[in-house]
């Protein structure tokens, strides 16, 4: 049995779809009760073990309910809001909960793959190395990133990084993210702007070395991110902290141009001032160092950004089709 937490969410539901694509249905889905917005992500998918509330799963796991049948836990469940200000809540939900699941999985020798985040890298001034020795140097810009970083440090200090995977997902975009509201990717938001107004808005640059719309991110298609995650599930000898990205940064102008191209339109981009609350906290450049994951043997191909955006726009955004539907 494979357990997927955060199952009704973005990456969690895509992992279930990816497992289904290879014929695997012995899956238990775990989440808070799915909202009306999140339920469509699960509806087309196959998971023979059904659905369980996240706290009930935590108790059953601690009680040994799944000791004889647990193959692995893909732990994607967390509060992922980068604007959350309640540290006590994040510590309970993102740190303590993850520790409990990790220790229970290791007690029975099950695979534990956990979603960390590229938010742990902060402003990027200390680089994007997933080497364990670099963990002490990182300074996340928000409490969400801090919560992920605290778990990574705990796992290292407890000697668990040679037994589990902590995955630092970069800017993931793709189908099944509709329910995320303001946390949706700019591909999703940008498509809606183009559909409704014929143009898209991007932030102006406050740094002379970056033109307007020239800020760069490592954008990774969710189908590729899920494939890398399942590769690690299947290879228990590959452990530690790993970046999950493409290894190549693209600027916002390129990303938006790919949306217009998928729709058969000429780009029409308007640049707007950077909001005050983002100044000093906005990442101008992110790029995953992928050598460690590739060196472990992961040969999952990366979909070119133009092809990935076209697949997302034409196959999902324009049709409203969830994966598996």
Of the residues 121, 128, 144, 169, which is catalytic? 144
Q: How far apart are CA 115 and CA 226, in angstroms?
A: 11
- Residue 319: strand, helix, or coil: coil
Neighbours of 41 (CB within 10 A): 28
Give the tokens for residue 299.
């040969």
Active site (annotated) includes residue 173 = no
Residues 314 and 33 sit within 8 Å (Cβ to Cβ): no
DSSP state of 276: G
First-to-last alpha carbon distance for the chain, in angstroms, is: 24
**DSSP state string for 117-185:** -GGGGTTSTT-----GGGGGG---SSHHHHHHHHHHHHHHHTT-TTTSEEEEE-EEE-TT-GGGGGGS-
Give the tokens for residue 251.
């600027």
Looking at the chain, which runs of residues are DSSP E strands?
2-5, 27-31, 51-53, 72-75, 111-115, 165-169, 171-173, 200-203, 216-217, 219-221, 240-244, 250-251, 269-272
Residues 169 and 148 sit within 8 Å (Cβ to Cβ): no
Active site (annotated) includes residue 144 = yes
Of the residues 51, 180, 271, 284, which is catalytic? 180
Neighbours of 149 (CB within 10 A): 23
Q: How far apart are CA 316 and CA 262, in angstroms?
A: 12
> Which candidate, 3, 20, 12, 18, places its Cα nearest to that of 41?
12
Active site residues: 144, 180
């Amino acid at each position: 049995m494979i357990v997927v937490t955060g199952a009704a969410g973005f990456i969690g539901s895509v992992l279930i779809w990816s497992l289904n694509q290879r014929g695997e249905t012995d899956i238990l889905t775990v989440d808070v009760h799915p909202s009306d917005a999140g339920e469509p992500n699960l509806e087309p998918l196959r998971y023979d073990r059904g659905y369980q509330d996240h706290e009930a799963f935590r108790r059953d796991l601690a009680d040994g309910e799944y000791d004889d049948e647990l193959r692995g836990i893909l732990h994607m469940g967390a509060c992922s809001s980068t604007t959350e200000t309640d540290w006590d809540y994040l510590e309970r939900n993102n740190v303590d909960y993850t520790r409990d699941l990790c220790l229970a999985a290791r007690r029975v020798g099950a695979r534990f793959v956990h979603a960390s985040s590229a938010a742990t890298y902060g402003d990027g001034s200390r680089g994007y190395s997933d080497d364990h020795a670099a963990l002490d140097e990182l300074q996340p810009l928000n409490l969400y990133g801090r919560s992920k970083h605290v778990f990574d440090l705990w796992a290292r200090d407890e000697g668990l990084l040679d037994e589990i995977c902590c995955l630092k997902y970069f800017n993931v975009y793709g189908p099944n993210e509709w329910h995320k509201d303001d946390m949706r990717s700019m591909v999703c938001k940008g498509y809606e702007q183009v559909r409704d107004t014929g143009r898209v808005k991007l932030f102006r640059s406050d740094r002379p070395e970056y033109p307007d719309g020239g800020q760069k991110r490592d954008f990774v298609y969710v189908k590729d991110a899920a494939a890398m995650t399942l590769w690690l599930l299947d290879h228990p000898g590959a452990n530690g902290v790993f970046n999950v990205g493409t290894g190549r940064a693209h600027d916002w102008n390129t990303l938006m141009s790919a949306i217009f191209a998928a729709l058969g339109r000429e780009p029409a981009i308007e640049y707007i001032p950077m909001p005050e609350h983002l100044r000093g906290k906005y990442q101008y450049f992110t790029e995953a160092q992928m050598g460690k994951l590739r060196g472990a043997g992961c040969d999952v191909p990366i979909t070119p950004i133009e092809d990935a955006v076209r697949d997302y726009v034409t196959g999902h955004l324009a049709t409203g089709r969830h994966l598996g539907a």
